[in-house]
Structure 1
Amino acid sequence: MDLKLENRTVLVTAGSKGIGLATARGFHAAGAQVAICGRSQENLDAAAALMPGCFAVAGDVSNADDIERIVTSVSKTFGGIDILVNNAGGPPPGLFVDLDDSDWAKAVELTLMSVVRATRLVLPHMQAQKWGRIVNISSTGVKQPVPGLTLSNSIRMAVLGWAKTLANQVGSDNILVNTVCPGFTNTDRITQIFESQSAATGKTVDEISQGLAAQIPLRRIGQPEEIANLAVFLGSEAASYITGTAIQVDGGSVQSPG
């Protein structure tokens, strides 16, 4: 399958580790010009070294000024951003009774406003050329809430509603907006969740991991590359008639049929 990604520029936010890095490497392998951002310069340097020609810029997507600086820098380097992959580490686990207004505000900045701000900045270029792709990396929590992830389950639903609404508004400009919903995937995020569950239950991280895998129809936790494969496809010309949808990559763990 020809993804027709040559001469396309993609920005993958939080692209130095985990699903973000796997996605950036997938686009790079498909011939796209790749830019990544992340908070750690050390991690960015290590990631960029894996992708010759990759442009890396440090910044925090929960900070509005950083997002503007990142997008401006990438746009000046490559002449615009054709594909935006909105990715960020999820907000911390927590029960509703343990969360205060500050926790909610930080989660909104990280999970919702980072996506809104980055997309607002890249849309003019996409609209001018009548071609663009917005791919959001979310969670199966938007289809089946994950126990203990109060902030993530709540705010990611807002992103999903925003994405569907935006898809309807920019479809006539040939700009496609889709959301990838990873299930449990082997990243630092899953380790954080398992450690939180371990502290709450007294079980070891290995016990929690093995117990979870046993409940997944494919009997294993996913790998970042398996999420990236869908993200790269949705960012390509091959996905030219797919927009406004949310697709889970979860080994069958979500029990709803769609």
Structure 2
Amino acid sequence: MNLDLTGKRALVCGSTQGIGKASAMELALLGASVTLVARNEEKLKEVIKQLPADDTESHHFIVADFTQPEDLKAKVADYIERNPIDILVNNTGGPAGGLAIEAELEEYTKAFSQHVICNQILAQLLIPNMRQAGWGRIINIISTSVKTPLKGLGVSNTIRAAVANWAKTLSFELGGLGITVNNVLPGSAMTGRLESLINSRAEKEGKTSEQVKAEMIKEIPAGKIGTPEDVAAAVAFLASPAANYINGINIPVDGGRTASL
């Protein structure tokens, strides 16, 4: 199986923590040069130091905030003039929890901008080089909610589904160019976001965080909460040459929790 990414450059969003950071690490281990994108420069510098590298790899970072799409566009456009990208990993922190009917309109527009609009900006910037090379990977880290909406995550369910359908549409349009577009759907992976959701649910239900966590684990056939590295392994595989004929799919990484096929 060919998992070698030597000579490829990956741009990984939201890569100073959690699944984004773990994905950057895995891609670097496979030989890719990684460009991190996040808003906290100090954290970016810390992660850069941790990325494995040899003589074929050169890691960089871009300081950008996904709440400012035009700034993101300008910075990435400037960067790729010197560093063309082969692999795009779209990963942005999810919207706050809450019922769909109670969400303010601004919550929907903000989430749509951070996820769909910013994904579109990055795709339009990076696809020309992928097209020229006849090879490219776009991988979107979304959520199992695109298969089964999750209670209490109204805005997230809505926006994640929009990203999934955007990606499926792109897979039709780009598949013949040697560019694949796929989605990775994390279930319960122990990230800062999951911890926040657990704590929020515990507060609302008058339970401890450990009680809520135990209830979540009961719903997972694997009997445990996953790790960012579990999700990153799927990202790295989809980025590899071995996944050449996999296009337009959703891969749940959830320990078997999702009830639908």
Structure-2-length-normalised TM-score: 0.95
Q: 1:130 aligns with which of 121, 124, 134?
A: 134
Structure 1 segments unaligned to the other structure (5+ residues): none
Aligned residue number for residue 258 of structure 2 = 254
SS at match of 1:49: helix
Instruction: Judge conservation of contact 2:134–2:178 (CA < 8 Å) in 1.
Output: yes
C-alpha displacement of 1:195: 1.6
Matched-pair contact (CA < 8 Å) for 1:23–1:232: yes
Instruction: Tell me: CA distance 1:48–1:227, structure 2 relative to 1, closer, same or farther (3 Å).
Output: same
Q: Deviations over 1:38-62 (max 9, x none)?
A: 1111211111110143211211123
The answer to whether the Cα contact below 8 Å between 2:69 and 2:114 also exists between their aligned partners in 1 is: no
SS in 2 for 1:108: helix
Runs (5+) with no aligned partner, structure 2: none
Contact 2:66 2:72 in 1 (8 A): yes
**Partner Cα separation in structure 1 for residue 10 and residue 259 of structure 2:** 33
CA contact (8 A) 1:90 1:152 kept: yes
Shift of 1:77: 4.2
- Tell me the CA shift for residue 4 of structure 1: 2.7
Q: Deviations over 1:181-231 (max 9, x none)?
A: 000101001011112211211111111111101210011110000100010
Q: Does 1:202 find its partner at 2:206? A: yes
> Which of 187, 191, 195 is residue 191 of structure 1 equivalent to?
195
Please report the RMSD computed on the Cα atoms of aligned residues, expressed in angstroms: 1.2
**What residue is the counterpart of 1:144 in the other structure?**
148
Greater than 3 Å deviation, 4+ residue runs: none
> Are the equivalent residues in 2 in contact too, given 1:91–1:110 (CA < 8 A)?
no
Distance 2:113 2:214 in 1: 33
Q: Which residue pairs with 2:25 in the alignment?
A: 25
For 2:178 and 2:15, how far apart are their aligned partners in 1? Answer: 25
Aligned residues: 256
| Residue matched to 1:159 | 163
1:15-54 deviation per Cα after TM superposition (whole angstroms, max 9, x unaligned)? 1110000000000001001001111112111111101432
Helix, strand or coil for the counterpart of 1:102? helix
Q: Structure 1 length normalisation: TM-score?
A: 0.96
Mapping of residues 43-122 of structure 1, within 5 Å: 43-51=43-51, 52=53, 53-78=58-83, 80-122=84-126
- What is the deviation of 1:111? 2.0
